[in-house]
Amino acid sequence: MASVDETALAQEDAGPASDRATRTPRRWNWPYIIVITSVHLLACLAVLPWLFSWTGVIVAAIGVIVFGQGINLGYHRLLSHRSFKVPRWFEHALVAVAICCLQGAPISWVTTHRRHHRDSDGPGDPHSPREGFWWSHFRWLAVEKPAAAETAAISRHARDLLKDPFYRRLQRTPVMQLVIFVPHALLFFAAGFAAGYFGEGGSAAAGLQLGLSVLVWGVFVRTVLVWHITWSVNSATHVWGSRSYDTGDDSRNNWVVALIAMGEGWHNNHHHDQAAATVQHRWWQFDATYYVIVLLRWLGIATNVIPVRSRRRAAQTQP
């Protein structure tokens, strides 16, 4: 990584609000805009009757859960907050699953999230709804970040990830992300084609129809759904919901987002206690992602699972 100078750090600290204050025009990140637009358009093919299949719908529904955990479990609770530990091979596998969600390289994702916690709903927050709801939902992704400021932010917020050659390669060579995403998409098509071709009364036409259906629903529709679920944590949970804690920001507990994001919608709880592996502070605040961690711990994969703050404090006061 390039060295960090004072100007770059100042740019990194300034955040999006400085653009308004100085009227510096925002430059659009056209490659990312093209990717987001293209995948949304490909997902819209799902409205074509020929591409509908219950198999595709089921694959998409399961995919939202499985691939969504690449983000929730992998990028968020494991890499961003280090709320538990897993073997390196399992960590890299989770990252590969997250890459298939097209949310960027892990170093960039973690840098952005740690900045969000440091400056939540302040001038340095990359995606606060105080800049506008749609800004927090997705428009912030479409803005090109100055290279010097981005380098400074990474050096400050993701030094632990920079030690891993795999993460550095994903960051420095974006095409590596396509090397993971494209084969996984082809695998979905191949599995659907095989099911249609070798199924009862199957044919090449049946294989092509089911293969494309699984590709559209299981990859493109699923990717768009995971996008908007993740983006809703950035936007909706800083606008609507209840607050259990005064965290100094606008974070809220939103049960709808918690339901579709497997617990991530208990966002005020998370901002109150970022280190904990769970955001379930009440019995009814179901945190599905945490129970995945519990399962991994039972299997002997997850260790050093960080409990909620009250239990950590109680453990410290015990003789």
Compute the chain's Rg from CA coordinates. Answer: 21
First-to-final CA distance of the chain:
46
Q: Higher model confidence: residue 16 or residue 242?
A: 242
Closest CA to 270 of 284, 258, 283: 258
> What pLDDT, on the 0 to 100 scale, is given for residue 25?
59
Q: Could you tell me the residue ranges of all domains in the chain?
A: 6-244
Region of poorest pLDDT, from 199-208, 235-244, 268-277: 199-208
Do 60 and 225 meet the contact criterion of CB atoms below 8 Å apart?
A: yes
Distance CA 127, CA 139 (A): 9
Average pLDDT estimate for 24-52? 91
Query: 288 near 262, Cβ under 8 Å?
Result: yes
Taking residues 101-115, report their average pLDDT: 97
Is the pLDDT at 82 greater than 90? The verdict is yes
pLDDT in tens, 109-134: 999 999 999 999 999 999 999 999 99
pLDDT of residue 78: 98
pTM of the model: 0.91
The pLDDT value given to residue 15: 52
When mean pLDDT is compared across 22-26, 164-168, 217-221, 257-261, the lowest value belongs to: 22-26
Q: Token pair of 83, please?
A: 């709320």
Per-residue pLDDT, 237: 98
Burial class (CB within 10 angstroms; exposed 0-12, middle 13-18, buried 19+) of 73: buried
Report how far residue 9's alpha carbon sits from residue 131's, in angstroms, rounded to the nearest whole number. Answer: 21
Q: In whole angstroms, what is the distance from residue 278 CA to residue 286 CA?
A: 10
